[in-house]
Amino acid sequence: MPTNIRQIAVLTSGGDAPGMNAAIRAVTRTALEHGWNVFGVRHGYAGLIAGTFVPLRARDVGGIMQTGGTILGSARSAEFKTGEGRNKALRSLGEADIDALVVIGGNGSQAGANELSLLGFPLVGVASTIDNDLCGSEITIGVDTALNIALESIDRLKVTASSHGRAFLVEVMGRNCGYLALMAGIAGGAEVIVIPEVATGPEEVASSIQAAWQRGKPHALVVVAEGAEHNATELAAYFRKHKERLGFDLRVTTLGHVQRGGAPMAFDRLLATRLGAGAVEALADGQQGVLMGYVRSAVVPTPLAEVVARKKEIDTRLLELSRVLAR
């Protein structure tokens, strides 16, 4: 069903993810092709409430595809979580004469988008978070780059761990989801992977490290998700306390935000480009209240209500495969 959209706005919200700029570029230029005016919203939902809209023309989004972060800025807005905040946002959209909105972000951002959509405002979401914890997209914008950044560190840590015969704990991001840790652990050849989805106690981690030494390994690498029941800080404290009994020396590296700030790799640029353009085409087709995600190699819309109601599962059988491969 064709629409009579004349002006759209685009925002990035929540934790930034490498590829957000490529998505902004794709949204802008695809919308311009439809003859629409495009506005960027500064700093996510906070900017929507404040009404900070900046015009985006073709040249304004030039040279940004290869850069990390988001040219629009991002934020986590507590005010937007309130009914009053959302009504203010609706007023700002009305005053700026915006007909539709594109929301680029992860779980929290798409939950906010769903609320706004329920109030009747036409919008489409774009799946973007390094956590890969969003339903409606098998992989989200930023995951691949964040994973590559984590891997680069893991590879380096393995080198020095081997030189010294040490064990290393590497903590990766992911909030409550173990996807990044699981994939970084498998691709980095970790001896142990600790994720929130599978309870793993410190003694179990310790015996896997000892088993690795016994198999003649020159190092032992443990990749821990930040959301795991026993995160890296806790595990390290436990191993320090029991150092004599366990008999190994252990170092800890927390990768933290380093994983988020990289320049997007080819996969994220292409994914962001396809999802951003897909969001505009969905609006042009009269769709709204959907998330554009990547499902079976295609750009697919899923109702936001469905996206926010479900929890994304990860394939924990891969944990067993990682154990086999760490032999």
Which of 110, 288 has the CB closer to ligand F6P?
110
Question: Is-catalytic flag, 99?
Answer: no
Q: Does 154 bind ligand F6P (CB under 6 A)?
A: no
Q: Does 61 bind ligand F6P (CB under 6 A)?
A: no
Q: Does 195 bind ligand F6P (CB under 6 A)?
A: no
Q: Does 174 bind ligand F6P (CB under 6 A)?
A: yes
Find residue 100's DSSP bridge partners: 8
Mention every residue, 6+ apart, whose C-beta is less than 8 A from residue 281: 30
Residue count at the site for ligand F6P (CB under 6 A)?
11
Q: Select which of 16, 131, 133, 268 is catalytic.
A: 131
Q: Which of 42, 86, 158, 175 binds ligand F6P (CB under 6 A)?
A: 175
Site residues (CB under 6 A) for ligand F6P, limited to 2-41: 15
Q: Where are any strands of DSSP class E within the chain? A: 7-12, 37-41, 53-55, 100-105, 123-127, 167-172, 192-194, 220-225, 250-254, 290-295, 298-303
Half-sphere exposure at residue 2, Cβ-oriented, CA atoms within 13 angstroms:
3
DSSP states along 256-292: GGGGTSSPPPHHHHHHHHHHHHHHHHHHHTT--SEEE
Q: Which of 29, 217, 260, 274 binds ligand F6P (CB under 6 A)?
A: 260
Please, what is the minimum distance in Å from the beta carbon of residue 182 to ligand F6P?
A: 14
Q: How many residues does the chain have?
A: 327
Which of 123, 173 has the CB closer to ligand F6P?
173
81 DSSP 8-state letter: G
Strands 290-295 vs 298-303: parallel, antiparallel or unpaired: antiparallel
Q: Does 230 bind ligand F6P (CB under 6 A)?
A: no
Please, what is the minimum distance in Å from the beta carbon of residue 120 to ligand F6P?
A: 28
Residues noted as catalytic: 131
Residues near ligand F6P (CB under 6 A): 15, 76, 106, 129-131, 173-175, 226, 260
